[in-house]
Amino acid sequence: MLPVSFSVSDILDPIDVSRLELYRDGSWRAPFRQLRAHAPVQYVPQSRFGPYWSISSHAAITEVEAQPDLFSSEIGGFNIVPLQPDARRNPMFIGRDPPIHTAQRRTVAPAFTPGAVQRMAEDLRHRTATVLDSLPRRTPFDWVTRVSRELTTQMLAILFAFPWEERAKLAEWSDWMGDIELMQDPALADVRFAKIQEAGLYFKALWDQRLSEAPGPDLLSMMIRSEAMGQMPFNEFMGNLSLLIVGGNDTTRNTMSGLVYALDQYPEQRALLDADRSLVANAVSETIRWQTPVAHMARTATRECTLDGQQIAAGDKLVLWYISANRDESVFGEDADGFRVDRHNARRHLSYGHGIHRCVGARLAELQVSILLEAMLDREMRVGVVADPVRVPACFIHGYREIMVRID
């Protein structure tokens, strides 16, 4: 797997932006800026995850994702981690190619139509108000635990019709499922696999229970009664559960956390929102762009091809750095690293991907963040960050373990 052509990217030493310390200490911006300027498609021969092509520009990522026949989500896996042995592989529809991807995605899509999402709005407003009104005043607390994690776990429990009193299990499972980097450590990989098995067995019991009940609008019932997913083997059932749990929890959770951090770091943007509530929808898009809760996805070339002047061999893995595309100066301007609630093209972000794999739950995620922001504005809630955030040391899920705040 060696690049055939020669360009400026061969002069620039390969920059391995998968290094976890870049995300642990938030120092990823500078190396990505260098890659976008000099080597937006660069071959990295060595990393803890093996060799890969680093794709860092908005244009190149969009080009790759627009060609699912040329760049497969299935052959080499949909993230940077090498495919696991068959005994530990849990296929999910985000990591499948058509026609399987198309059929399985179509099964769960009715839960996320505009009408279905709007029907959840009033309940979401009530739950968000309850959480915000329960927060302490003038006493530091962790926003991630008290707000972001709680709100997204509640939403996930509703989507699955999961036993309410046990909903904390969903957040625990999500943390293990989303931490794909653990698969590189054999001991932790065993623990992670056991946690996924635990989740699968719990949901299998719910599945068996739902079979004897009248059909409901929850995701599990939709899966049970679909031709595409009703007869899945257990490992594929676990894989799709993992996708829906992580997609419904980690990503929105980290956007909600990113929102409060951004408003603290850019107080003038909070002032703009106070003055003009019509900016809320755009502010949500800007938060999703600025935070980029999923840092990357990956594809594998199905045949030899050229991308941005670089020769890609069949079988080569391409890592699509959404976190870099969302800072692309050629799209978002020279202030792309900043947070601007009135950014005119914030919706061009790639946080949800592009093409056939675009996030199926995007509307619901936007609604949840929008309702949270509106509720904060309604209460004139000023949330001050009182300590440096504790970031997730990972190159896949981009988020926070803890953000200590104080409401005065």
Global pTM value: 0.92
Residue with tokens 């985000």: 94
Compute the radius of gyration of the chain from its Cα atoms: 21
Q: Please list the alpha-helical segments (H only) found in 17-120.
A: 21-24, 29-38, 58-65, 100-108, 114-119
pLDDT value of residue 87: 52
pLDDT at position 235: 83
Confidence (pLDDT) at 231 = 84
Show the low-confidence residues of the chain (pLDDT under 50): 1-11
Q: Quick one: pLDDT at residue 224?
A: 87
**Residue 9 forms part of a structural domain:** no
Per-residue model confidence (pLDDT) at position 4: 41
> What confidence score (pLDDT) does residue 86 get?
64
In a domain, 5, yes or no: no
The number of distinct structural domains making up the chain is: 1
pLDDT at residue 184, as a whole number = 74
Asked if residue 349 belongs to a domain, the reply is: yes
Give the pLDDT confidence score for residue 3 in this predicted structure.
44
Q: What is the CATH number of the domain that holds 352?
A: 1.10.630.10
Does some domain include residue 331? yes
Q: Is residue 148 part of a domain?
A: yes
16: left (phi over 0), alpha (psi -120 to 50) or beta: beta
pLDDT at residue 147 in the model:
98
Domain that holds residue 281: 20-407
Say if 375 falls within a structural domain: yes
Q: How many CB atoms lie within 10 A of CB 346?
A: 22
The answer as to whether 312 is a domain residue is yes
pLDDT tens by residue, 290-337 = 999 999 999 999 999 999 999 999 999 999 999 999 999 999 999 999
Here the tokens at position 26 are 């938030």
Query: Does residue 8 lie within any of the structural domains?
Result: no
